[in-house]
């Protein structure tokens, strides 16, 4: 069990919300850099080196692609490097391209770890209170999909032994796909009625439904929650007082280094690497425990 994922779903959700929000809200290169580093570090903790390298390689390409193509579409900026088909290519546009690529790749890596950490049951739990009916619909759909996959496999085989659509041509594939989906649709619709009955038989629809979950809010959840909120507030203050302001056009603005500024950047950096730190801390603790035995 990864330790960051064992925090309470509310805390996790708020964390991802604030990290992604901050990353997308600003174009400040320092913050974007922190976000990229944080997201990749944590992603590396969650996956095998092989997967990590493959993904980083792939997104490096995306990164370069965006950085290069930006000057083709954007001709703002005053430092003209050269002309391409009579259009100016500017230094500012290239730098802006790099910044936006950083943002995009960071957000993608955050989304990747989000998908691994916020499993469906946490999601359903989070929204169970605000949208109880829809979260039940989601929960049921999530249950159906593996069932459907199994049934699709079965029907596929049976239909083959009936001698139907046995070739690999695209028409046969589409036609047999539709037939299989059709059979599975009947199967699931007819059986879904039973499920509706089973729900009513257990009193679904009575007034005053409660929401049960296995998730408990521990002290450490509270501490992390407070930390996130505090950092979020300071970051917002930073935005309000224009500490993070940064412009690319017409000329790239310089970073103003003030005492408060450094402090602010420190906070943001800490926020971005919290999951990584938690994982590392846990790993070290286990190693220590084991060495003591």
Partner 1 sequence: MRNKKINYFIIMILIPLSIALGVILFKDRKYNLISIIIAFLSCLPIFFSFEKGKTSTRKMTILSVMVAISVAGRFVFAAIPGFKPVTAIVVITAIYFGSEAGFLTGSLSAIISNIYFGQGPWTPFQMFSWGMLGLIAGLPFMRKLLLKNKIILAIYGVFAGVIYSLMMDVWTVLAMDGVFNARRYLAAVTTALPVMAIYAVSNVVFLMLAIKPFGEKLERIKTKYGI
Partner 2 sequence: MEIIKVKDLDFTYPEQKTRALKDVSFSIEPGEFIVICGESGSGKTTLLKLLKRELAPHGNKTGSIFYKGTELEELDDRTAASEIGYVMQNPENQIVTDKVWHELAFGLENMGVPTPVIRRRVGEMANFFGIHQWFRKKTTELSGGQKQLLNLASIMAMQPELLILDEPTSQLDPIAASDFITTLQKLNRDLGLTIILVEHRLEEVIPIADKVMIMENGSMILYDKPEYIGQKLKEIDKNHKMLLALPSAVRIFNGLDSEGKSPLTVRDGREFLSNNYKNHINVLERPLKEDENRDENILELKNIWFRYERDLPDILTGVNFQAKKGEIISILGGNGSGKTTLLSVMAGQHRPYRGKISIRGKRIRDYKGKDLYRHNIALLPQDPQTVFLKSNVREDYKEIGKVMGYTKEEIKNNTEEIAEMLSIQKLLDKHPYDLSGGEQQKVALGKILLLEPKILLLDEPTKGIDAFSKSVLHDILINLKRQGVTIIMVTHDVEFAAIVSDSCGLFFDGEIISMGTPVDFFSDNNFYTTAANRISRHMYNNAITCEDVIEICKLNGVKEIHAK
User: What value, to the nearest 5°, has the Cα angle with vertex 250 and ends 246 and 256?
Assistant: 30
Q: Give the nearest distance from C-beta 191 to partner 2 in angstroms.
A: 5
Binding stretches for partner 1 (CB under 8 A) = 20-21, 24-25, 27, 66, 69-70, 73-74, 100, 103-104, 107-108, 111-112, 114-115, 120, 131-134, 136-138, 140-142, 144-145, 148-149, 152, 170, 173-175, 177-178, 180-182, 184-186, 188-190, 192-193, 195-196, 199-200, 204-205
Residue 28: name the closest of 233, 171, 250, 242 by CA: 242
Instruction: Pick what 162 binds: partner 1, partner 2, none; C-beta below 5 to 8 Å, kind-dependent.
Output: partner 2
* Binding residues among 269-288 for partner 2 as defined by CB under 8 A: none
* Binding residues among 146-185 for partner 2 as defined by CB under 8 A: 146-147, 151, 154-155, 157-164, 166-167, 179, 182-183
Nearby residues of 268 by Cβ (< 8 Å), 6 or more positions away: 22, 30, 31, 34, 231, 235, 238
Q: Give the nearest distance from C-beta 73 to partner 1 in angstroms.
A: 4
Q: Give the nearest distance from C-beta 153 to partner 1 in angstroms.
A: 10
Output the DSSP codes for 193-233: HHHHHHHHHTTTT-SS-----S----HHHHHHHHHHHHHHH
Q: Cα separation of 217 and 224, whole Å?
A: 11
CA dihedral sign, ordered 227, 259, 42, 117: positive
- Which of 47, 79, 139, 234 lies at the binding interface for partner 2 (CB under 8 A)? 139
Question: Is the bond into 228 cis (omega within 30 degrees of 0)?
Answer: no
The residues that touch partner 2, with contacts defined as CB under 8 A, are 120-121, 124, 136, 139-140, 142-143, 146-147, 151, 154-155, 157-164, 166-167, 179, 182-183, 186-187, 190-192, 194-195, 197-214
């Amino acid at each position: 069990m990864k330790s960051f994922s064992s925090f309470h779903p509310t805390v996790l959700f708020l964390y991802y919300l604030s990290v992604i929000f901050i990353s997308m809200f600003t174009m400040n290169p320092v913050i974007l850099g922190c976000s990229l580093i944080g997201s990749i570090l944590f992603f590396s903790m969650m996956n095998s080196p092989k997967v990590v390298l493959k993904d980083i390689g792939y997104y490096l390409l995306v990164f370069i692609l965006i950085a290069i193509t930006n000057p083709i579409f954007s001709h703002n900026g005053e430092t003209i490097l050269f002309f391409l088909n009579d259009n100016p290519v500017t230094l500012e546009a290239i730098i802006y391209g790099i910044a936006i690529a950083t943002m995009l790749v960071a957000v993608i890596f955050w989304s990747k770890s989000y998908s691994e950490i916020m499993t469906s049951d946490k999601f359903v739990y989070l929204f169970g209170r605000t949208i109880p009916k829809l979260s039940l619909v989601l929960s049921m759909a999530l249950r159906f999909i593996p069932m459907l996959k199994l049934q699709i496999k079965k029907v596929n085989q049976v239909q083959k032994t009936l001698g139907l659509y046995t070739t690999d041509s695209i028409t046969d594939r589409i036609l047999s796909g539709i037939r299989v989906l059709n059979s599975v649709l009947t199967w699931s619709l007819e059986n879904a009625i039973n499920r509706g009955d089973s729900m009513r038989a257990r009193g679904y629809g009575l007034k005053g439904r409660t929401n049960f979950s296995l998730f408990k809010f521990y002290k450490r959840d509270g501490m992390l929650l407070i930390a996130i909120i505090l950092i979020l507030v300071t970051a917002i203050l930073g935005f309000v007082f224009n500490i993070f302001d940064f412009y690319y056009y017409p000329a790239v603005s310089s970073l103003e280094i003030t005492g408060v500024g450094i402090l602010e950047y420190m906070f943001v950096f800490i926020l971005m690497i919290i999951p990584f730190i938690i994982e590392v801390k846990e790993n070290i603790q286990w190693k220590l425990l084991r060495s003591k035995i």
